[in-house]
């Protein structure tokens, strides 16, 4: 089992949206490194949901990977914001995984709080300028955040 952090802007799609839907494809990833992380995910992997571009960004809850990576259909749709004219159904560039809601934290773990945790001292999450929307999380980071979030 592996652990991941997935960033989302809650005005576009929030943990509450995932909770209401139960399960959702995590589409629209258009960064090769993040795509490669998606491709390495396995069913049952744990996911922290991180709300970004909000006044107090941070980890707000958990989800679980419920499918292996498969082609993201938005790359083929000219009406989609995620359309990629260079991608084709025969040679797709972009993948997604399906994730299922698991938990909303009673206490959000803010970015400021994460910066004080020794487990995150080497994490790209707390480095300035990090724009990657998917990051691997260590077992220690996973357990420490779950313990702190209550």
Distances (CA, A) of 27 to 24, 41, 64, 81, 82: 9, 14, 15, 11, 8
Domain boundaries, the chain: 3-86+93-149
pLDDT tens-digit profile of 62-90?
999 999 999 999 999 999 999 999 999 99
**Residue 102 burial (10 A CB sphere; 0-12, 13-18, 19+):** middle
**Token representation of residue 27:** 């589409």
CATH number of 3-86+93-149: 3.10.590.10
Radius of gyration of the chain (CA): 15
Collapsing DSSP states into helix, strand and coil, what is residue 69?
A: coil
pLDDT at 128: 81
Which segment of 54-58, 100-104, 125-129 scores lowest on mean pLDDT? 125-129
């Amino acid at each position: 089992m592996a652990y991941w952090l997935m960033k989302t802007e809650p005005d576009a799609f929030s943990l509450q949206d995932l909770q209401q839907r139960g399960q959702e494809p995590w589409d629209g990833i258009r960064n090769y490194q993040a795509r490669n992380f998606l491709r390495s995910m396995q069913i049952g992997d744990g996911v922290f949901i991180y709300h970004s571009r909000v006044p107090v960004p941070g980890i707000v809850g958990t989800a679980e990977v419920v499918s292996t990576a498969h082609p993201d259909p938005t790359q083929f749709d000219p009406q989609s914001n995620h359309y990629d004219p260079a991608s084709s159904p025969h040679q797709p560039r972009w993948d997604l995984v399906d994730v299922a809601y698991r938990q909303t934290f009673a206490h959000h773990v803010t970015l400021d709080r994460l910066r004080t945790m020794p487990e995150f001292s080497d994490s790209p999450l707390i480095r300035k300028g990090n724009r990657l929307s998917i990051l691997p999380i260590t077992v220690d980071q996973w357990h420490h955040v779950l313990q702190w979030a209550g």
